[in-house]
């Protein structure tokens, strides 16, 4: 009995120091998860959304990023089955995690429609010529 009492006395301060919620796991873990993978590049939902929002902002303003041609019309020659109707625009998704502001666009793109709704993600990686293939989740 004395051993049990001593053990309880030792563990009580430790149990009071433990968090009462695991909410600290919610956002950081989700933020690191791949929403889509293009070739070997993993993109979180936040990065895809940021790229889509930046591209759509340029469309609404009638401009392009840093003197580039992006965003520009995407004609869907490959015949992807996007969940939203067109017309579509393409805008670079950068493997660095930054939002595209001009320069080399890399291989990956976010596709959105004229209403700003996300259509999908595509990449030149693994495609022949200047074609695209779908990133994970885009068919």
Select the more confidently predicted residue: 6 or 115. Answer: 115
Give the C-alpha distances (Å, rounded to integers) separating 63 from 19, 75, 105.
49, 19, 16
| Whether pLDDT at 109 is above 80 | yes
Q: Average pLDDT of 114-125?
A: 98
Pick the more confident residue, 115 or 33.
Answer: 115
User: Residue 30 catalytic?
Assistant: no
**Is-contact 86 73, C-beta < 8 A?**
no
Q: Considering 30, 72, 78, 121, which one is annotated as catalytic?
A: 72
Give the other-Cβ count within 10 Å of 117's Cβ: 13
Tell me, yes or no, if 121 is annotated catalytic. no
Residue-wise pLDDT for 43-83, tens only, equals: 999 999 999 999 999 999 999 999 999 999 999 999 999 99
Q: What is the mean pLDDT of residues 23-51?
A: 79
Single out the residue of 125, 61, 127 nearest to residue 93, CA to CA.
125
> Out of 30, 78, 90, 121, which one is annotated catalytic?
90
Q: What percentage of the chain has pLDDT greater than the value 90?
A: 73
Of 30, 78, 121, 124, which residue is the catalytic one? 124
Q: Give this prediction's pTM.
A: 0.77
Buried b (16+ CB within 10 A) or exposed e, 88-104: bbbbbbbbeeebbeeee
């Amino acid at each position: 009995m004395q051993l049990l009492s001593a053990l309880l006395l030792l563990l009580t301060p430790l149990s009071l120091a433990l968090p009462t919620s695991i909410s600290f796991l919610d956002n950081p873990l989700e933020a690191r998860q791949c929403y889509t993978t293009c070739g070997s590049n993993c993109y979180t939902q936040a990065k895809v959304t940021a790229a889509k929002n930046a591209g759509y902002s340029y469309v609404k303003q009638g401009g392009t990023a840093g003197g580039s041609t992006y965003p520009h019309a995407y004609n869907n020659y490959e015949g992807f089955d996007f969940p939203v109707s067109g017309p579509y625009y393409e805008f670079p998704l950068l493997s660095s995690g930054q939002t595209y502001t001009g320069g080399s666009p890399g291989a990956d793109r976010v596709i959105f429609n004229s209403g700003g709704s996300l259509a999908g993600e595509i990449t030149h990686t693994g495609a022949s010529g200047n074609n695209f293939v779908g990133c994970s989740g885009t068919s």
